[in-house]
Amino acid sequence: MHNHFQRAEILLDALPFIKSFRGSKIVIKYGGSAQIEPRLREQFAKDITMMYMLGIQPIIVHGGGKRITSVLEQMGVESEFIDGHRVTSKECMEVVEMVLSGEINKEIAYFLSLNGIQALGMSGKDSLLFEAKCKEGGKFGLTGEIKSANPQVLEKLLEVGITPVISPVCGDSSGASYNVNADIVACEVAKALKADKVIFLTDTLGVLGKNGELLESIKASEVEDLIQNGVISGGMIPKIRSCVDCLESGVKKVHIIDGRVEHSLLLELFTSDGVGSEIVLC
């Protein structure tokens, strides 16, 4: 009988969150172990299904850096990075597009469809969703940054109950393709749709303090000090700055959570404690 009460308490704890998030748009950056390990992939699909059935509109943006590096290695092409950014040559860009838009994107959309979600795979090039240009004048080759967004196709998909699954390959008016960081694309999607939340699934607990403790809540105004003091470093710097940009553009809250935790999405959204770091404007 005690177990029954515990289950009821869990459901009651989730109730105000379910009410609050019903009808909201939530952008999810899907990457890391949650995207690679079969068990975590299955749980991710179930989490998205639960969110969808509870009236949330999920929008998924994915990366695939490890798979790109693996395919390039098989082809005998060495990956080059500058300041943590991949240098995308023309040869590399062909592999990036093949892996992200051709392989990973369709696999995620298909897997979600098998779990009861109407999902459609697309890239930033489809329906001119994003227009991109070379990052820092071509310093990183065909690694790009977003110039403008055209979110109408996403809005129409959401209106008819279809979950978009977006590859971060974008284009320009000349027909060129660009490899854009998936974190950046997730934030640009959120800004364009005026999303309620962005959630980053990562291979870390969240944002960690000087002593390795989890920083459960961070104000946007604190971010630059944390960077200057070395608390936030490496690849977390562009991610956290993208989070601040989202907040300053109207997104209500950003979360960085551990995608290695089973059902981390549901735990972050529907429990009082959560499982990661939240970044808020004030």
Q: Does residue 2 sit within a domain?
A: no
Q: Does residue 18 sit within a domain?
A: no
Give per-residue pLDDT as tens, 109-130.
Answer: 999 999 889 999 999 999 999 9
Task: Note down the domain range covering 255.
Answer: 27-280
Which helix H or strand E contains 40, and what residues bound it? helix 38-53
Q: Does residue 93 sit within a domain?
A: yes
Total domain count, the chain: 1
Cα dist from 195 to 2, 151, 276, whole Å: 39, 12, 19
Annotated binding-site ranges for substrate? 64-65, 86, 179
Q: Is the dihedral of CA 71, 74, 77, 80 positive or negative?
A: positive
Spell out, as residue ranges, where the chain has pLDDT lower than 70.
1-8, 10
Give the pLDDT confidence score for residue 7 in this predicted structure: 65
Backbone angles phi and psi of 152, in degrees to 5: -55, -40
Structure tokens at 233: 């470093």
Give the pLDDT confidence score for residue 79 in this predicted structure: 85
Give the pLDDT confidence score for residue 2 in this predicted structure: 54
Give the pLDDT confidence score for residue 14 in this predicted structure: 81
Spatial neighbors of 109 by CB under 8 A, at least 6 apart, are 119, 120, 121, 165
Domain with 164 in it: what CATH number?
3.40.1160.10
Structure tokens at 135: 């990052």
What number of other Cβ atoms are within 10 A of residue 211's Cβ? 6
Cβ-based burial of 175 (10 A; exposed 0-12, middle 13-18, buried ≥19)? exposed
Annotated binding-site ranges? 64-65, 86, 179
Q: Does residue 223 sit within a domain?
A: yes
Tell how strand 169-171 and strand 177-180 pair up.
Answer: antiparallel
Q: Does residue 17 sit within a domain?
A: no
Structure tokens at 63: 């990366």
Give the pLDDT confidence score for residue 63 in this predicted structure: 92
Give the pLDDT confidence score for residue 210 in this predicted structure: 87
Model-wide pTM > 0.85 = yes
Q: Does residue 10 sit within a domain?
A: no
Give per-residue pLDDT as tens, 24-50.
Answer: 999 999 988 888 888 888 899 999 999
Q: Is the dihedral of CA 176, 177, 181, 185 positive or negative?
A: positive
Alpha-carbon 196 to chain mean position: 14
Q: Does residue 4 sit within a domain?
A: no
Instruction: Tell me the angle at which helices 152-159 and 182-193 cross, rounded to the nearest 10 degrees.
Output: 70
Q: CA 43, CA 261: separation in Å to the nearest integer?
A: 10
